[in-house]
């Protein structure tokens, strides 16, 4: 995985490679899928969630670039793997489900790093409200059926995101924009 997927795709930060080598992916998938844990595609989990491909999570961790002093929030896509990669790299880690992220959960103190382990159409105001001004955001982003890793910042006017890497990321449907029609 390190040599054939991450390094060949430009994920070369030593801290990313070290964490991904230290955390066994097979512990985050059902036993029946342990032989596929390192393949370069997402794995469906028994709880309905997904374990994204190693490249996706490596790129997200690289883009997060934690300094060790952050209070981070991880919106877990169902596997717990990305949270475990990030845990020793930040001062404090809060892990929430997509449903908690879009719900009326506690505001909590202002996190300065948000990592969403999946692709979203939008980041709801309730989740943005848990972030400090200037907080960094790393997420998958869905636009016109294409998923990308995106990075951004929270400002007084909301969260601005910029796509940085096109890749297949499982979509978190709890973050879908309401569908409707108009004249």
The domain spans of the chain are 2-175
- Looking at residue 105, its pLDDT comes to 59
On the question of pLDDT at 183 being above 90, the answer is no
Rounded distance, CA 149 to CA 164, Å?
6
- Looking at residue 3, its pLDDT comes to 80
68-80 tens-digit pLDDT: 999 999 999 999 9
On the question of pLDDT at 4 being above 80, the answer is no
Alpha-carbon distances of 164 from 22, 36, 105, 148, 151, rounded to whole Å: 26, 27, 30, 7, 7
Q: Is the pTM of this model over 0.95?
A: no
96-153 tens-digit pLDDT: 999 999 986 555 568 999 999 999 999 998 999 999 999 999 999 999 989 999 999 9
The class that CATH gives domain 2-175 is alpha beta
- Looking at residue 37, its pLDDT comes to 86
- Looking at residue 80, its pLDDT comes to 96
């Amino acid at each position: 995985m390190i040599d054939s997927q991450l390094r060949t795709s430009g994920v070369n930060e030593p801290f990313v490679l070290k964490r991904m080598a230290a955390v066994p992916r097979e512990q985050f998938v059902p036993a029946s899928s342990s032989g596929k844990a390192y393949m370069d595609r997402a794995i469906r989990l028994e709880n309905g969630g997904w374990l994204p491909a190693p490249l996706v999570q490596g790129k997200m961790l690289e883009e997060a670039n934690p300094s060790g002093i952050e209070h981070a929030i991880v919106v877990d896509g169902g596997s717990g793997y990305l949270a475990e990669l990030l845990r020793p790299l930040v001062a404090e880690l809060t892990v929430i489900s997509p449903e908690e992220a879009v719900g009326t959960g506690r505001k909590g103190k202002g996190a300065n790093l948000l990592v969403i382990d999946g692709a979203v159409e939008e980041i709801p105001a309730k989740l943005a409200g848990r972030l400090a001004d200037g907080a960094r955001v790393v997420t998958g982003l869905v636009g016109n059926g294409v998923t990308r890793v995106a990075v951004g910042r929270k400002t007084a006017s909301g969260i601005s995101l910029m796509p940085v890497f096109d890749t297949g990321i499982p979509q978190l449907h709890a973050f879908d924009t309401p569908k409707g029609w108009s004249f």
